[in-house]
Amino acid sequence: MDRLKGKVAVITGAASGMGRATAIKFAGEGAAVVIADLNVEGGEASVRDCKENAGRAVFQKTDVSAEAEVKALVARAIKEFGRLDIIYNNAGIGGAIGPLENISVEDWDRSQAVLLRGVFLGMKHAVPEMRKVGGGSIISTASIAGIRGFNGLHAYCAAKAGVVNLTRSAAMEFAKDKIRVNCICPGGINTPILHRNIAGMKEVIEQTMAKSQPIQRTGHPDDIAGMALYLASDDSEFVTGQAMVVDGGLTIGSQYAAANGDANAVRAIMPNSFIGPSFQG
């Protein structure tokens, strides 16, 4: 308890999934949290969850691809809580999916705007405020898709690889300011962006993912929240520029072939060109 006592955190994409789990965990560890998302209903619910976990929280509707809105988000943290110690650039979409030659330029650009530009903007506007308080922690959600290839996820893989290397270059630049920069590379985490409120889909994904890696259970948002807490806390004060893989061992040895039939069943009912925010269905 109190691992983040007195600290202020901004978390994007915190209306559901990994961001929401992290917001609740941070609040329970003493942080004041600014929850950012386009999903107003979910964001306000996350605020209630944080307060029920004995924390302080406010919601700011934010499009992370828009610089003015990210700037306003950071300003909200300062206005409400007086400082900024942590930013977790977590907001994401599935983006353009399918064969590379079928991806439109518009869908490619929309993917990069949220998945990569949003991380850049979060870093850009958080750093000046972190300098004022003598340092901080920048965390971003990358993916195992940023360190290996996945067929049909070209835009996502490219953006997440960008997050990994942006993390490294930013860590070099801001080390002198005592600002640590790290990212998390989740594997298969069962979140709303995957099951998208399709009846029975959450259970199908739960069973399918459990067969795909050495640790034979599905990843959950709390698994990522635990890593985010470590990176946000002083426990990781000597850790920077790292891509922390949290994947149940998937990248060391996939067992996905055994579940290929289940995987095909999942793909059959997913969108076939672009996956937007989870709350949009």
Domains and CATH numbers, the chain: 8-194+219-253 (3.40.50.720)
Tell me: pLDDT of 41 over 70: yes
Q: Residues 6 or more apart from 199 whose CB is under 8 A from it?
A: none
User: What is the mean pLDDT of the segment spanning 91-112?
Assistant: 97
Is the pLDDT reported for residue 50 higher than 60? yes
Name the pairing type of β-strands 56-61 and 32-37: parallel
Work out the pLDDT band at 281, boundaries 50, 70, 90: low
- What pLDDT does 273 receive? 82
Of the candidates 4, 9, 26, 203, the one whose C-alpha atom is nearest the C-alpha of residue 87 is 9
Q: What was the pLDDT predicted at 268?
A: 46
The tens digit of pLDDT for each residue in 223-254 reads: 999 999 999 999 999 999 999 999 999 999 86
Give the model's pLDDT for residue 253. 80
**pLDDT tens digit string along 129-182?**
999 999 999 999 999 999 999 999 999 999 999 999 999 999 999 999 999 999
Given a cut of 60, is residue 269 above it in pLDDT? no
Q: Which two tokens stand for residue 170?
A: 């930013």
Report angle CA 150, 18, 164 to the nearest 5 degrees. 45
Marked catalytic residue, from 88, 156, 230, 256: 156
Task: Determine what percent of the chain is predicted with pLDDT higher than 90.
Answer: 79
Q: pTM of the predicted model, to two decimals? A: 0.91
C-alpha distance from residue 15 to each of 19, 42, 44, 112, 125 (Å): 7, 4, 8, 21, 21
Q: What single-letter amino acid sits at 84?
A: L
**202 vs 219: which has the higher pLDDT:** 219
pLDDT at 155: 98
Residue located via tokens 């929401």: 20
Residue 156 annotated in active site: yes
pLDDT the model gives residue 205: 78
